[in-house]
Amino acid sequence: MCFARHFPTPLQDPISALCAVLPLIYYEIHGIIIIGKFALGREEKENIKMSGNYNSYESPFCTRYASEEMQYIFSADKKFTTWRKLWVALARAEMKLGLPVTEAQVKQLEEHINDIDYDMAEAREKEVRHDVMAHVYTYGKACPDAAGIIHLGATSCYVGDNTDVIIMRDALQVVRRKLINVMNNLAKFAKEYKDMPCMAYTHLQPAQPTTVGKRATLWLNELLMDFEELEYRIANLKLLGSKGTTGTQASFMELFEGDTDKIKKLEQMIAEEMGFDSVVPVSGQTYSRKADWQVLSVLSGIAQSCSKFSNDLRILQSFEEMEEPREKSQIGSSAMAYKRNPMRCERITSLSRYVMIDVLNPAFTSGTQWFERTLDDSANKRISVADAFLGVDAILNIMMNVTDGMVVYPEMVRRRLMAKLPFMATENIMMDAVKKGGNRQDLHERIREYSMQAAIAIKSGKDNPLCELIVNDPMFMITQEELDAVLKPENYVGRSPQQVEEFLSECINPILEANKDILGENFEMKN
């Protein structure tokens, strides 16, 4: 709990400061501290002394998961300073287009973008019950010469909606940077292990082998699809512009005396100053809430891809073929000391599930807006959009950590593959026997019988006897040496190594090369 924002300092108002502090006086006789209406025990009192906030809910995204960088993008300070930047852009454009706004007024507005008196704004909002007008008032007090031209011709959505778009743009850039670094880590991993044969799985049942590196390209390809969607969405994100109360720009028609060209120019000038190519062509009071759904759909896609990766790695860790990174003193279980739980990947799965579900919020919001706008979007929007970005930020942070330190156990990979490889080799063995004069149908039936026997033996805890059964059967006309030559895992991975090389060189490396200045980011797990 932060008291600083609500209490005046002694130097400003000693009497008020004393009155504010009096409720916090310790009553040692009873071992309690009074905070407003709440009476806390001695233990809770000590907790408050040590940290700050133990008696009200705080989002785990802020306390545990998301980066400070992403948290700031969705902070009040980012929001309200952006409001002021938009008011500056509006005033500057109106000045250049001939309205009675002076250079001195614009300069004064620019000088006071960052020194927001939040206490004044909060107090004013309590009086007028309107956040935008409270901040117009506060800005005007800081800029008395420009107070009369702030927000000229605009409606609340001019600052509210345009700021939302700017925040999403800035947040998408952070997501983009972290996604590229995850892709870079996976590309290195795929290249390193492109030749290592491993068991593949369909239906989670052993199937024709692939390579460890080829499997990594499957994870990477889904992230590539997400990256392409992300690039499109960033490139096509548009400001609301200055559309007025119901999107008709009627107020600006009054200000510019019906000069449509100037009104259109006004929007373009604002867009350019805020770093956008264009504004939405038409709108009601707000930009279409479908835009929020489109953005969150990209985030949902990233969450889907990361969840797929994390679930695969969790299974591989249970097979003891691969593991996520692990600290030397990390505890897997409070009871079972030997355990090596995939806790980071489990967190990825957990957070991804939240983000994937969260995309339904803007979908329903978009579908239930009435005519030019309703305010039932506001409460949902300010929670769901922020949470989606904070969630994906946390997911990508963990992804950077995991993909930068994945551990492969080659001996276990080969052991598990060799236990099943005889089943995979039966078609080659059968074809070789046919070349030597055998009957394909008879050979197929014999292999089927032996395979069933071998499966029962394996499930009974015995070694796979399939190779022994085949070698000892004259129908197959094969020696042990010939069989050993057949049972080379590298013979069964197809073009996996070449596919890895081609995919990296044609699809991934151009992206990494174009963004080499942002590569090398890493993330150290704190909890």
H or E element at residue 419: helix 410-435
Q: What is the mean pLDDT of residues 237-254?
A: 96
Which residues, 6 or more positions from 369, have their beta carbon under 8 angstroms from its beta carbon? 286, 289, 377
Instruction: Render pLDDT for 39-92 as a digit per residue (tens, 0 to 9).
Output: 444 444 444 444 457 889 999 999 999 999 999 999 999 999 999 999 999 999
Whether 285 shows a pLDDT value over 90: the answer reads yes
Structure tokens at 190: 């795929």
Instruction: Render pLDDT for 290-313 as a digit per residue (tens, 0 to 9).
Output: 999 999 999 999 999 999 999 999
User: In the prediction, which pLDDT does 134 show?
Assistant: 97
User: In the prediction, which pLDDT does 198 show?
Assistant: 97
Whether 507 shows a pLDDT value over 60: the answer reads yes
pTM for this prediction: 0.85
User: In the prediction, which pLDDT does 129 show?
Assistant: 93
State the pLDDT confidence band at 423, using cuts at 50, 70 and 90.
confident
- List domains and CATH numbers for the chain: 1-56 (no CATH), 164-240+284-410 (1.20.200.10), 411-492 (1.10.40.30)
Q: b/e for 425-455, b at 16 or more Cβ within 10 A?
A: bbeebbebbeeeebeeeebeebbeebbeebe
Lowest mean pLDDT among 29-43, 99-113, 180-194, 426-440: 29-43
User: In the prediction, which pLDDT does 329 show?
Assistant: 52
Across the chain, what does the average pLDDT equal? 89
- Dist CA 449 CA 472 (whole Å): 14
Active site residues: 203, 333
Whether 2 shows a pLDDT value over 90: the answer reads no
- Dist CA 324 CA 327 (whole Å): 10
